[in-house]
Amino acid sequence: MKRLLLPLLLGLVTIVADQLTKAWALSALGDGRTVNIIGDFLSLHLTFNSGAAFSLGNSSTWVITLIAAIVSVGLPFLIARSARVPAIMLGFIWGGAIGNLIDRLFREPGFPRGHVVDMINYNGWFIGNVADIALVVAVIALVAYEFFSRDEAVEAGAQ
């Protein structure tokens, strides 16, 4: 149980930060305005995404919701069995998945087809949110960890 505490706490912090920033975006950017942070390269603009990352699967919102629900329920079990470092990364993935799942379950147009609130515009390439940041950074970190830890394990076995 102690192994779950830090990853799940980080996941909960991610969920709260995600939902608070979405609430802020709805109130501050709901009039359609854009707030430039670093010129056009990084700005804030409210959008609603019915699909997955990069707006893929716009017509399959309920499928994405089902997958997110399975991941959200299953990840704590994986976290409990994982080594400390991957468990922390999995905690951020869990938090990001739940942050966006909340939108899919409770936002318009309704359960389970809700659209995810996005507001961070990356130079027009894509628009995301705090949950997306947690997901992407944690997945990249997990892949890097697995890549480099496997090399170390192979080198240790060769000696």
Q: pLDDT tens digits, residue range 94-109? A: 999 999 999 999 999 8
User: Is 93 a domain residue?
Assistant: yes
Q: Using CA atoms, how far apart are residues 140 and 111, in angstroms rounded to an integer?
A: 30
Position 1 pLDDT exceeds 70: no
Residues serving a catalytic function are: 118, 132
User: Is 156 a domain residue?
Assistant: no
The answer, yes or no, to whether the previous bond of 76 is cis (omega within 30 of 0) is no
User: Is 130 a domain residue?
Assistant: yes
User: Is 21 a domain residue?
Assistant: yes
pLDDT class for 149, splitting at 50, 70, 90?
confident
Position 110 pLDDT exceeds 90: no
Cα separation values, 29 from 99, 123, 130, 138, Å? 19, 17, 16, 28
Q: Within 13 A of 74's CA, how many CA atoms are on the CB side? A: 6
Return the pLDDT at 56: 54
Q: Which domain holds residue 83?
A: 1-150
Residue 29 backbone phi and psi in degrees, to 5: -115, 5
User: Is 155 a domain residue?
Assistant: no
Q: What stretch of H or E contains 44?
A: strand 42-49
Total domains present in the chain: 1
Position 55 pLDDT exceeds 90: no
User: Is 158 a domain residue?
Assistant: no
